[in-house]
Amino acid sequence: IKNLTAEEAEILAGKDPDSHQRDLREAIERGEFPSWTVYVQVMPAAEAATYRFNPFDLTKVWPHADYPLIEFGKLELNRNPENIFAEVEQSIFSPAHFVPGIGPSPDKMLQGRLFAYGDAHRYRVGINADHLPVNRPHATEARTNSRDGYLYDGRHKGAKNYEPNSFGGPTQTGRPLWQPIPVTGVTGETVTPVHAEDNDFVQAGNLYRLMTEEEKERLVNNLAGAISGVTRDEIADRAINNFRQADEDFGKRLEAAVQALRG
């Protein structure tokens, strides 16, 4: 992982604000395709309820020591779009697009996004978004039964697209697409944590302690630059205390850096 310093980024943003986009485009043109190795972590469902933090809390990461990374593929960008509107502006990505056998977790943010993304697509692109070439599956036709909206080409003519129907149209198979996950608990705020590490500071502190000295210094300097501009001392102190709760050394160094910038 390579990073620009805050000072380098400030200069580059003023002189060449499109540098990252151009670098990506030109790298692909040269055949230097950027790629990401994709991994999954697998936790048995029975362990979720008693794990030391809520495994469906999207602010947490599962430690690799407990659930090792399992490599299964690679994502590679190997072609630049030929038509930005058709291939970028009209593209849609939804966490509700599953293949049989894989289903959603009880992550509350994911549950909200399952319908929110589709809502946005229907508003931004149209009811037929799944039928556009950039969004169609390669293996088969997009069978969403959505049609007759804006810019629809009428290819299905008078065929029915609702269920139940009496005209040989689509029918539900009744076949489960994934294994359900039982959930328990109460809604709203809980007085006591359900899991031992259900707080905002444990993992932040763990990450800080994993950093090299150079990374810690860069992080402290970046945060100090922002906090030092806060006009009310009590607000700046509360911000610094958040980092102190993650790690005492983190908070101590940040406080010193803020004071140095304030003179």
- Residue 148 pLDDT: 83
Write down the pTM of the prediction: 0.80
Report, in angstroms and rounded to the nearest whole number, the Rg of the chain calculated over CA atoms: 25
Nearest to 53 by CA among 86, 160, 257, 43: 43
Question: What is the predicted pLDDT for the residue at 198?
Answer: 84
What does the pLDDT read at residue 190?
65
Neighbours of 115 (CB within 10 A): 11
The pLDDT score that the predictor gives to residue 191 is 63
List average pLDDT for each run of 10 residues in the chain, which is 263 residues long: 85 93 96 96 90 92 96 96 95 90 91 94 89 84 77 84 88 86 75 79 95 94 94 95 97 96 88
Answer left, alpha or beta for residue 188, where phi above 0 means left and psi between -120 and 50 means alpha.
left
Per-residue model confidence (pLDDT) at position 247: 97
The secondary structure element, H or E, covering residue 253 is helix 248-262
Residue 97 has what pLDDT?
A: 87
Residue 116: per-residue pLDDT: 96
pLDDT for 179: 85
**What pLDDT was estimated at residue 104?**
93
